[in-house]
């Protein structure tokens, strides 16, 4: 096969993958809107298709079920957090300062009602559906592993085992950020600046050296 023809096939294949990924993201955005508005079980594929701007048949080309869509949402959220942690590690200065600098943005995301509604729908489905629960728990394992690496380096250590209470520190941080969305719904008067201050104090506590 001539090189020009091979290059043409490779280019078309790349374009097709890009187009497919764009379509998948279009479905996920439409599904997210429907899940937040109607809940997972009340959102029909027809409504998701309408929100995504495509036919139901076209959606099934990318996702075999609503369950597959919610699993893809979990995986997408995982990639967002991993990308954020990568960005933190690339930041100039200390990792501790970078974590503190990202705290405000983290609080803003946690206090977004739409994001919280989606999180609660995912967790509710995980409580009922073993397959979704497996994906959620596997994702949590990946994020805890990555956070373990970040915190270890932020404290100037080479080995996580050398950080006293490393697992407690990780759970404290995750519990804080995963609890803010619930508080924001239960208490709509929750003050953003106070939450940022609490998060800053907690991060400093997590990064403290033991007495």
Whether pLDDT at 18 is above 60 = yes
∠ Cα 114 43 40 (to 5°): 60
Whether pLDDT at 157 is above 80 = yes
Distance CA(44)–CA(111), nearest Å, equals 27
**Each residue of 30-44: pLDDT tens digit?**
999 999 888 998 999
Whether pLDDT at 123 is above 80 = yes
Contact (CB, 8 A) for 148 and 170: yes
Which residue segments constitute the domains of the chain, with CATH numbers given? 1-64 (1.10.10.60), 67-211 (1.10.357.10)
Instruction: Please compute the mean of the pLDDT values over residues 146-167 and round it to a whole number.
Output: 90
**Axis-axis angle for helices 3-38, 113-128 (nearest 10):** 90
Tokens 């506590």, residue?
205
Contact (CB, 8 A) for 78 and 71: no
**Each residue of 53-88: pLDDT tens digit?**
989 988 998 999 999 999 999 999 999 999 999 988
């Amino acid at each position: 096969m001539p090189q020009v023809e091979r290059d043409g096939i490779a280019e078309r294949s790349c374009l097709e993958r890009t187009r497919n990924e764009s379509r998948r993201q279009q479905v996920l955005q439409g599904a997210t809107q429907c899940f937040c508005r109607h809940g997972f079980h009340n959102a029909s594929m027809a409504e998701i298709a309408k929100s995504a701007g495509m036919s139901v048949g076209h959606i099934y080309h990318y996702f075999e079920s609503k369950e597959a869509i919610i699993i893809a949402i979990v995986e997408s959220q995982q990639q967002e957090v991993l990308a954020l942690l990568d960005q933190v590690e690339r930041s100039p200065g200390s990792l501790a300062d970078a974590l503190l600098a990202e705290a405000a943005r983290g609080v803003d995301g946690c206090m977004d009602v739409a994001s919280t509604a989606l999180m609660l729908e995912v967790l509710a489905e995980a409580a009922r559906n073993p397959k979704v629960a497996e994906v959620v728990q596997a994702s949590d394992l990946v994020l805890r592993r990555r956070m373990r690496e970040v915190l270890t380096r932020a404290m100037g250590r080479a080995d996580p085992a050398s950080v006293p209470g490393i697992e407690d520190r990780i759970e404290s941080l995750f519990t804080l950020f995963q609890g803010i969305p619930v508080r924001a719904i239960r208490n709509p008067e929750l003050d953003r600046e106070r939450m940022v201050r609490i998060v800053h104090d907690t991060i400093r506590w997590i990064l403290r050296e033991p007495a």
